[in-house]
């Protein structure tokens, strides 16, 4: 995370939000997930299925693993976390998560709003077993 103080603060806020979304307690709470997802959120799952905010809330609040088809059941181990400020109020994160015997490369875009930092886009690409 090199760059300006604004970049460091923005990336730090996005990383904190990302890690909260990986927390099983947060994922089990529709209110907490809603707080962290942009109203225009979308995700492409490993199956090719597209998720929006409503469908993610259905999946995460369903219990039993609280996962979409490309998210390993929490808790996941996160490595290689990296972030970049793309523009004021827009951060791109990349990282690797490992859990439940799967390793997944992840990419998220976080957007700042009046409500704070929220995930706008996410994609996870399985890379094989851990």
pLDDT in tens, the chain (130 residues): 446 899 999 999 999 999 999 998 898 899 999 999 999 999 998 677 899 999 988 887 765 443 444 443 447 899 999 999 999 999 999 999 998 888 999 999 999 999 999 999 999 999 988 7
- Do residues 109 and 120 make contact, with C-beta atoms less than 8 angstroms apart? yes
pTM of the full predicted structure?
0.84
Strand 50-52 relative to strand 102-113, pairing = unpaired
Which H or E run contains 19? Answer: helix 5-22
User: DSSP state, 32?
Assistant: H
Q: What does the pLDDT read at residue 63? A: 55
The CA angle 107-111-112, to the nearest 5 degrees, is 145
CA atoms of 54 and 51, how far apart (whole Å): 8
């Amino acid at each position: 995370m090199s760059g300006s103080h604004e970049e460091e603060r923005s990336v730090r806020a996005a990383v904190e939000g990302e890690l909260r979304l990986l927390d099983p307690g947060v994922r089990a709470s529709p209110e907490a997930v809603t707080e962290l997802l942009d109203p225009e959120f979308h995700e492409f799952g490993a199956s090719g299925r597209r998720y929006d905010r409503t469908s993610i809330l259905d999946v995460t609040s369903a219990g039993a693993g609280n996962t979409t088809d490309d998210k390993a059941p929490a808790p996941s181990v996160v490595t290689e976390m990296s972030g970049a400020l793309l523009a004021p109020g827009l951060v791109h994160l990349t990282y690797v998560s490992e859990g439940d015997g799967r390793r997944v490369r992840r990419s998220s875009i976080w957007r700042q709003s009046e409500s704070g930092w929220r995930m706008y886009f996410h994609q996870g690409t399985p890379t094989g077993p851990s």
